[in-house]
């Protein structure tokens, strides 16, 4: 179903930077170019100062691709949208813990609706939010920009935070815990994806780096090459 890259890494193009007037064609093209997931940014002009797309658009693109749709909820409150996105064909649903009154309950709600569940950490949000809900996490998503807009620059502070999240997840899994993906979102480019991989990320969101270029396949191929090179150095 999905063509994961080196060591089971995933590239998840963010459709925030796609041509919204041709969204079906855009998601088909980016999957044909090698995308593993489609990253779907939901903004509500309340939790973040921007407004994007909702469950109707998720439902509209669902028949166009077979890969998982990764819904990143930048909304407050969260819970009412979970069943709507599950029904619209989402496979992964992540949310910001500050935006939910009951984080544990929201994670359970997402899983109860058959989706993989995850928490999203803004640059200033401490990783401690994950501590008591490790057993309910399928994904940890670290923001390497402040959420709300595509095309921002990668914040270098995300690298140390990735290493810290990687250590927590590795310790959890070594103790018999379930697998948890470590995803990064914001400012990911061909030129920095290697060091982001080396810091521990396994799932890479990239919006403007992919949709801003004419040849999506060339960008994704170069990203995979940089990931593989970073892994070769680590061994
Ligand atoms: C930002 C979004 C990102 C964004 C990434 O709030 O969550 O997914 O689309 O865009 P780039 O890759 O351009 O930074
Ligand atoms: Zn996102």
Q: What is the pLDDT of residues 186-201, one digit of tens each?
A: 999 999 999 999 999 9
Q: Tell me the CA–centroid distance for residue 142 and ligand 1, in Å.
A: 12
For 119-166, write each residue's pLDDT tens digit.
Answer: 999 999 999 999 999 999 999 999 999 999 999 999 999 999 999 999
The answer to whether the CB of 13 is under 6 A from ligand 1 is no
Whether 185 is catalytic is yes
Residue extents of the structural domains in the chain: 10-234
Alpha carbon distance 123, 209 (integer Å): 20
Find where tokens 């061994």 sit. 235
Which pLDDT score is estimated for 74?
99
Q: Which of 41, 44, 70, 138 is catalytic?
A: 41
Take atom 9 of ligand 1 and give the residue whose Cα is closest: 150
Q: With beta carbons less than 8 A apart as the criterion, state whether 179 and 135 touch.
A: no
CATH number of 10-234: 3.20.20.70
Could you say which DSSP state residue 16 is in?
G
Q: Look up residue 233 and give its two tokens.
A: 């150095």
- φ, ψ dihedrals at 84, nearest 5°: -65, -40
Distance CA(170)–CA(156), nearest Å, equals 22
Question: What value does the mean pLDDT of the chain take?
Answer: 97
Task: Compute the distance between CA of residue 50 and CA of residue 103 in angstroms, rounded to an integer.
Answer: 23
Q: How confident is the model at residue 1 (pLDDT cuts 50, 70, 90)?
A: very low
State how far the Cα of 235 lies from the Cα of 228, in Å rounded to an integer.
11
Return the best residue to mutate from 205, 211, 219, 220 for the ligand 1 pocket (most ligand atoms within 8 A of CB).
205
Q: How far away, in angstroms, is 173 Cα from ligand 2 center?
A: 25
7 pLDDT higher than 90 = no
Tell me the three state secondary structure of residue 94: strand
Q: Which of 35, 152, 206, when mutated, tests ligand 1's pocket best, judged by the most ligand atoms within 8 Å of its CB? A: 152
| Ligand nearest to the backbone CA of 15 | 1
Which pLDDT score is estimated for 4?
74
- CA separation for the pair 88, 156 (Å, rounded): 35
């Amino acid at each position: 179903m999905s063509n994961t890259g080196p060591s089971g890494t995933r590239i998840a193009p963010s459709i925030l930077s796609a041509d919204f007037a041709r969204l079906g064609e855009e998601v088909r093209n980016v999957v044909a170019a090698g995308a593993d997931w489609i990253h779907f940014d939901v903004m509500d002009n309340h939790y973040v100062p921007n407004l994007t797309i909702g469950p109707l658009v998720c439902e509209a693109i669902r028949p166009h691709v077979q890969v998982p749709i990764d819904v990143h909820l930048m909304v407050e409150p969260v819970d009412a949208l979970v069943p709507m996105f599950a029904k619209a064909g989402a496979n992964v649903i992540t949310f910001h813990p500050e935006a939910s009154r009951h984080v544990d309950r929201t994670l359970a709600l997402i899983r109860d609706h058959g989706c993989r569940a995850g928490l999203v950490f803004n640059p200033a949000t401490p990783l401690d939010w994950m501590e008591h809900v490790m057993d309910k996490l399928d994904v940890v998503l670290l923001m390497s920009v402040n959420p709300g807009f595509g095309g921002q620059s990668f914040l270098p502070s995300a690298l140390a935070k990735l290493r810290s999240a990687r250590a927590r997840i590795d310790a959890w899994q070594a103790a018999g815990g379930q697998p948890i993906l470590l995803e990064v979102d914001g400012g990911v480019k061909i030129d920095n994806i290697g060091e982001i991989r080396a810091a521990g990320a396994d799932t890479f969101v990239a919006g403007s780096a992919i949709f801003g270029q004419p040849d999506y396949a060339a960008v994704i191929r170069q990203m995979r090459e940089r990931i593989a090179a970073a892994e070769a150095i680590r061994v």
